[in-house]
Amino acid sequence: MGGKSGVGAGVDGGEGMYLLYNSLLLLTSLAGLPYFALQSLRTSKYRAGLRQRFGQIPPAVAAALQGRRPLWVHAVSVGEVIAAAPLVTALRARFPDVPLLVSTVTETGQATARAKMAADAYLYFPLDYPWVVHHVIEAVEPRLFLMIETEIWPNFLRHLHRRGIPALLVNGRISPRSFRGYRRLRPFMRQVLGSVASLSMQTRVDAARIIGMGAEPGRVYVTGNIKYDLPLTPLSLAEEQALRADLGIGEAPVFMAGSTHRGEEEIVLQAYLQARAQVPALRLLLAPRHLERLDEIEALLRRHRLTVHRRSQGRLPSQGADVPVLLLDTIGELAGLYAVGTVVFVGGSFVPIGGHNVLEPAAHRKAILFGPHMHNFHEIAAALLEAGGALQVQKPEAMGETLSALLQDPERRQALGDGAYSVLHQNQGAIARNVHLIEQLLDQHTHA
């Protein structure tokens, strides 16, 4: 594993590049200030954590850390938080006496982190202004910084490096589009990546791309995807029945659509209505990715004369109630609720978002559907398809037919679920490999 020798001079030799970066950062911030100020007045989404983003350390965080140097895990939003939750659990077990600090950028990410992670303290990640990151890092003084996937903040990483605090990129992924953009900035990215002690990448392709961006090959490792390290204990029949009773859906078959985006709810709805013509008892459990769209989605459903019940309203009045649609408006429940799905569609895939985590329903052995846009989960989607663990629906109009066929073919559903589960099982182990890297980094810097 590479040490600190030879890195500092290269990083600090790029003063002109950092000056240009900070000038552009400041200009961009000033240009967006009127919009940001207006949104801050309109919604709490933009006000949440604003003081923390500008460097304020809440008293609760300082009290939780009590002057001890934490392991700092940064996960930008919901997807990264969910992926990192088992890693945080593993770190807690391996380093029980070391405090854990978790930071996010988004409000929903912060809420999910508090619901899913057993950390000592939670924080909104600071804006990447030099004076802000200097203040926060000096106040927190982490012993190690872990960034999930590809959250690369030049000033933050540079100050960590100057303080001798190691940073580790965990579960690194570089999309083809990002790679093309980063390659154009290779001289600067070489300086930035020189501030990172180790880069733990999902695949050999990701490793080759980050080396192509300027990372030193000796610091780059292929450890697999931590998203595979989900618990492999599907609910028992009794547990699933209890969950169904809590939802008020009884034994009804359920078409579940998770992490949907604008434009996908209409596709899901049409497929549901088509399938319900053949399976009248079918329920729809709809979980939009962004909860601020709930009113819009509920209005869409009601235009189709469908009765809707929100999860936050509690259990349905009775299992016989004529409420065909359950709208999931709570945070942190989706992965567990996949257990009640008879057929599951994972959103972000019929619009060019790039897909969402299809492994969560795989952990419950569910029949999984997704659309054509899966570039953010390309390797996982390819593995599922190769193993017969999912179906990719290329056109929206084919969704209803596919859903109807699966609902009437339990053996096909079982085969899909078993295939998905086998992919998940065979690719586990990335968290253990990352924990080993973390141990090495901490030992190296303790004895440096």
pLDDT digits (tens, 9 = 90+) for 116-126: 998 999 999 99
- Is pLDDT at 7 greater than 60 in this prediction? no
- Is pLDDT at 108 greater than 90 in this prediction? no
- Cα 39–Cα 42–Cα 48 angle in degrees, nearest 5: 70
8-229+429-446: which CATH number, 3.40.190.100, 3.30.460.20, 3.40.50.11720, 3.60.15.10? 3.40.50.11720
Q: Compute the distance between CA of residue 303 and CA of residue 313 in angstroms, rounded to an integer.
A: 21
How would you class 185 by CB atoms within 10 Å of its CB: exposed for 0-12, middle for 13-18, buried for 19 or more? middle
* Tokens 């600190």 -> residue: 4
Q: Quick one: tokens of 45? A: 């989404």
Q: What is the pLDDT of residue 12?
A: 45
Grade residue 313 by pLDDT with cuts at 50, 70 and 90. confident
Q: Quick one: tokens of 163? A: 């303080």
Q: What is the pLDDT of residue 1?
A: 35
Residues 424 and 359: beta-carbon distance below 8 Å: yes
Residues 404 and 272: beta-carbon distance below 8 Å: no
> For the segment 190-215, what is each residue's pLDDT rounded down to a tens digit?
999 999 999 999 999 999 999 999 99
Q: Compute the distance between CA of residue 257 and CA of residue 343 in angstroms, rounded to an integer.
A: 9
Please give the average per-residue pLDDT across 355-370, as a whole number: 96
- Residue from 261, 257, 178, 258 nearest 212 by CA: 178
Domain edges within the chain? 8-229+429-446, 237-426
Residue 386 backbone zone (phi > 0: left; psi -120 to 50: alpha; other: beta) = alpha
Grade residue 186 by pLDDT with cuts at 50, 70 and 90. very high
Grade residue 411 by pLDDT with cuts at 50, 70 and 90. very high
Active site residues: 80
| pLDDT above 70: percentage of residues in the chain | 92
Please give the average per-residue pLDDT across 176-196, as a whole number: 92
- The contacts of residue 59 (CB under 8 Å, 6+ apart) are none
Hey, what's the torsion of the CAs at 312, 317, 319, 321, to 10 degrees?
A: -110
- Is pLDDT at 405 greater than 60 in this prediction? yes
Please give the average per-residue pLDDT across 341-357, as a whole number: 96
Please give the average per-residue pLDDT across 51-62, as a whole number: 92
Q: What is the pLDDT of residue 317?
A: 62
- Is pLDDT at 282 greater than 60 in this prediction? yes
CA distances from 161 to 21, 150, 446 (A): 18, 18, 15
| pLDDT above 90: percentage of residues in the chain | 74
> For the segment 136-165, what is each residue's pLDDT rounded down to a tens digit?
999 999 999 999 998 899 999 999 999 999
Strand order in the sheet with 144-148: 121-124, 100-104, 71-74, 144-148, 167-172, 198-201, 220-222
Please give the average per-residue pLDDT across 329-346, as a whole number: 93
- Is pLDDT at 41 greater than 80 in this prediction? no
State the pTM of this model. Answer: 0.84
Question: Can you say how many angstroms the Cα of residue 115 is from the centroid of all Cα atoms in its chain?
Answer: 14
* Tokens 């909860």 -> residue: 291
CA distances from 29 to 40, 103, 151, 156, 321 (A): 15, 21, 19, 17, 51
Please give the average per-residue pLDDT across 12-23, as a whole number: 80
CATH code at 237-426: 3.40.50.2000
Q: What is the pLDDT of residue 36?
A: 58
- Is pLDDT at 2 greater than 70 in this prediction? no
Fold matches, 8-229+429-446 and 237-426: yes
> For the segment 223-277, what is each residue's pLDDT rounded down to a tens digit?
999 999 988 777 888 999 999 988 989 899 999 999 999 999 999 999 999 999 9
Hey, what's the torsion of the CAs at 283, 287, 291, 294, to 10 degrees?
A: -30
